[in-house]
């Protein structure tokens, strides 16, 4: 009957399968170490020069540990260690220096270069085996931690991606809920989201926008854009769906959707317990996307640079899509006519540079 191996037995089995590379220009030293280490259950490869050792270090099976003579012709142990540490493929292989040098300065020099340990000649078998075992155990532990860290990093990345997908779906669900109140808008939230992304990408290297429009912020901005009209859920149907012109009092109520939206997002942000960057941008967009460059917009009459860039981008995207879309109170406008209206709003309704980016990249559907 077979029994499962205990942890100590598993470690011993793993250690016995370790591959060692011994490097020495003296054949008798290679022979002595080779016999000793093979008898202890290790797989052993031998190299009689530095260049040969460097080749063997990169060949399969890769060595788990290198025992490296310091004093060798052509390329000494220090030079070999430098080359090993310079190559990512051999950088993490532990190295024990073999030396007849008794000066502690030499030992300090080798350790400073990255040697794991020293074994003095003439060899004492128990010391050699103990030092080898210790370094292999340390390497196994480092490798295990590296594998664990790799796994944890992959798991964190997976969960972050999953959270971002959930976040994106939740945002679209909320935005679609608002859009169901106004079925005439069609896929307005998806179209404006696309316009915002394209405009932001075109302005990413513009001196006025480069600091804000990093790749990360463009992603957050795009994700936040669908919430720009979330406040419309608080507007009564008789106003939101009215086919004709709104009265002055009705228009005052309609304009409250900007603040209603930003307040709702702020409540969600407060409930989360900490600031969330995408909610901060969503709040800006919802609150100020009806502000105008000349200060004649609502709800706060902001002007120029006091309007957050997120809201300025959304303002142009929102107006353009409204112009080319069918509404209960109007027919869709031809693209060229909508473009001319956007151009006419440069410097009054819209940020001049955002308008220029829009016009420079404008094209009509084929």
Superfamily of domain 181-360: Hypothetical protein af1432 (1.10.3210.10)
Give pLDDT, residue 65.
Answer: 96
The residue among 46, 48, 56 whose CA lies nearest residue 89 is: 56
Q: What is the mean pLDDT of the chain?
A: 87
Interatomic CA distance for residues 292 and 274, integer angstroms? 31
CA–chain centroid gap for 23, Å, is 42
Q: Which residues contact 149 (CB under 8 A, 6 or more apart)?
A: none
25-39, 145-159, 207-221 — which is least confidently predicted? 145-159
Give pLDDT, residue 258.
Answer: 95
Instruction: Tell me the pTM.
Output: 0.57
The residue among 98, 112, 108 whose CA lies nearest residue 66 is: 98
Per-residue pLDDT, averaged over 69-95, amounts to 92
User: Could you tell me where the beta strands, DSSP code E, fall in the chain?
Assistant: 19-23, 43-47, 65-69, 95-99, 117-120
Contact 65, 33 (CB under 8 A): no
Domains 7-150 and 181-360 are alike in CATH topology: no
Per-residue pLDDT, averaged over 302-325, amounts to 96
Domain ranges in the chain?
A: 7-150, 181-360
Place of tokens 């151009």: 343
Per-residue pLDDT, averaged over 189-193, amounts to 89
**At 2, is the pLDDT very low, low, confident or very high (cuts 50, 70, 90)?**
very low
For 99, phi then psi, to 5°, come to: -150, 150
pLDDT over 90 (residue 200): yes
Query: Highest mean pLDDT: which of 61-75, 159-173, 174-188, 318-332?
Result: 61-75
For the domain bounded by 7-150, which CATH number is listed? 3.40.50.2300
Residue with more model confidence, 318 or 276: 318
């Amino acid at each position: 009957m077979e029994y499962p191996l205990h942890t100590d037995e598993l470690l011993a089995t793993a250690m016995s399968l370790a591959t060692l590379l011994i490097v020495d220009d003296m054949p008798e030293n290679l022979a002595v170490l080779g016999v000793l280490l093979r008898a202890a259950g290790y797989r052993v490869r031998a190299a009689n020069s530095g260049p040969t050792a460097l080749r063997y270090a990169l060949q399969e099976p890769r060595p788990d540990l290198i025992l490296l003579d310091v004093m060798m012709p052509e390329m000494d142990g220090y030079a070999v260690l430098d080359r090993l540490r310079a190559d990512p493929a051999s950088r993490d292989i532990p190295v024990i220096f073999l030396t007849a040098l008794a000066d502690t300065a030499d030992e300090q020099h080798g350790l400073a270069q990255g040697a794991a340990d020293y074994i003095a000649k003439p060899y004492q078998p128990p010391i050699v085996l103990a030092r080898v075992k210790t370094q292999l155990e340390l390497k196994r532990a480092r490798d295990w931690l590296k594998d664990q860290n790799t796994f944890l990093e992959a798991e964190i990345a997976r969960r972050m991606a999953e959270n971002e997908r959930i976040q994106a779906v939740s945002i679209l669900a909320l935005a679609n809920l608002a859009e169901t109140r106004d079925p005439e808008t069609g896929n307005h939230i998806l179209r404006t989201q696309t316009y915002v992304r394209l405009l932001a990408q075109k302005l990413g290297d513009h001196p006025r926008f480069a600091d804000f429009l990093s790749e990360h912020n463009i992603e957050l901005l795009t994700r936040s854009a669908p919430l720009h009209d979330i406040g419309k859920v608080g507007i009564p149907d008789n106003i939101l769906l009215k086919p004709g012109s709104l009265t002055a009092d009705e228009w005052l109520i309609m304009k409250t959707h900007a603040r209603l939206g930003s307040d709702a997002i702020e409540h969600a942000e407060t409930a989360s317990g900490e600031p969330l960057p995408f909610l901060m941008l969503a709040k800006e967009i919802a609150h100020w996307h009806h502000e105008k460059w000349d200060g004649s917009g609502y709800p706060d009459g902001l002007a120029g640079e006091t309007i957050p860039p997120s809201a300025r981008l959304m303002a142009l995207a929102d107006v353009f899509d409204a112009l080319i879309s069918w509404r209960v109170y109007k027919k869709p406008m031809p693209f060229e006519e909508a473009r001319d209206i956007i151009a006419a709003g440069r410097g009054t309704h819209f940020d001049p540079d955002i308008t220029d980016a829009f016009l420079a990249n404008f094209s009509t559907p084929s």
